[in-house]
Amino acid sequence: MSLDRRFLEYPQRKYGMDHDRYEWSMLSERPKVSWPNEVKLGLWINVGMQFFPLNQRGEPFKVPGGMTMPYPDLRHFSLRDYGNRVGIYRFLKAFDKYNIKPTFAFNSRLAERNPYLLDAIKERGDEIACHGLHMDALHYGGQSIEQEREQIAQALGSLRDLSGQDVIGWISPARSESENTPDLLAEHGIKYFSDWVNDDMPYSFKTKHGDLMAMPLSNELDDQFILMSNLHSEESYVEQICDACDFLLKEAETQGGRILGLNIHPWMLGQPHRIGKLEAVLDYISSQDSVCSVNGAQIYQFLTDQTIS
């Protein structure tokens, strides 16, 4: 029995992509990126600064890392809060030790509830990106565009006011989007976003309000994904990150500069039995030749003058 041709006929069916958000291209065939000062690999650390509501609704799904037990799930709520009370300060010490300049992706609700955290980051001069309203305020298919527009406006407006920064970067809670999310982000002045993980290097992403930069932040190397979802050991986490570093450095020798993007969470790696593993990762990567720590805004600013396809 042959497949009904109706399944092969749909808008924008063509060679390459079946949408017009970005051009199809092979990474190995794109123009080479040349980082300044002969750097081969940019290490981009993104820290998820998250607030998980105790009374989460879970619409349209329960966010990974959220509450899992009947209300009030104080065990998981207080563990998430641990990251913002204890774990984050271990991160800051590690970053200073290895001269890391990260991006801190804040839920705006966390910035409102814990101003001392935002103040600590502001005093360091680090980049602040937006991680949505909070971890139960999801963006999803079927959501009304008016509701999502208000969600984004509220999240960005609050975080920009509190931080005093332009806030040009975005990562959605749970990396969940609707079909309207990129357009609404561009409408509200976002320059780069990290929800799509279909590449190793940034690329131009078309919207109704001008191009965004899609800046992939590997989900495969996310601490929560490796340790909580895949149930790998802390030793395996270190091994996987170091392997990725080695491979990307080797690839950069012939294919141009690369980015190693790591998404980490204070309530995960900020634990006393894990912080040493983060330090081991930072020690290994920073000891390699031709590696430089960069934040998302620096990557965006440099690559806007390059040809990205």
Span 278-294, pLDDT tens digits: 999 999 999 999 999 99
Q: Which residue has the higher pLDDT, 29 or 146?
A: 146
Burial readout 256-294 (b: 16 or more C-beta within 10 A, e: otherwise): bbbbbbbbbbbbbbbbeebbbbbbbbbebbeeeeebbbb
The neighbouring-strand residues paired with 208 are: 210
pLDDT for residue 118 is more than 90: yes
Higher-pLDDT residue of 189, 16? 189
Model confidence at 190: pLDDT above 60: yes
Residue 307 has pLDDT above 70, yes or no: no
Q: 9 falls in which pLDDT band (50, 70, 90)?
A: confident
Confidence at 1, pLDDT banded by 50, 70, 90: low
CB contact at 8 A, 176 and 139: yes
Q: What percent of the chain has pLDDT over 70?
A: 98
**pLDDT tens digits for 219-242?**
999 999 999 999 999 999 999 999
- Give residue 70's pLDDT: 92
Contact 76, 68 (CB under 8 A): yes
> Whole-prediction pTM value?
0.95
Q: Is the pLDDT at 39 greater than 70, yes or no?
A: yes
Cα–Cα distance measured from residue 183 to residue 142, given in angstroms and rounded to the nearest whole number: 15
**Cβ proximity of 140 and 178 under 8 Å:** yes
pLDDT at 56 over 50: yes
Neighbours of 131 (CB within 10 A): 29
Instruction: Indicate the helix (H) or strand (E) that contains 246.
Output: helix 234-255
Instruction: Choose among 23, 91, 27: nearest CA to 259.
Output: 27
Mean pLDDT computed over every residue of the chain: 95
Phi, psi (deg, nearest 5) at residue 203: -150, 160
The whole-number average pLDDT for the span 198-219 is 96
* pLDDT of 27 strictly over 50: yes
Domain ranges (residues) in the chain: 32-303
> For 32-303, CATH number?
3.20.20.370
Question: Nearest 5°: CA angle at 138, between 65 and 299?
Answer: 85
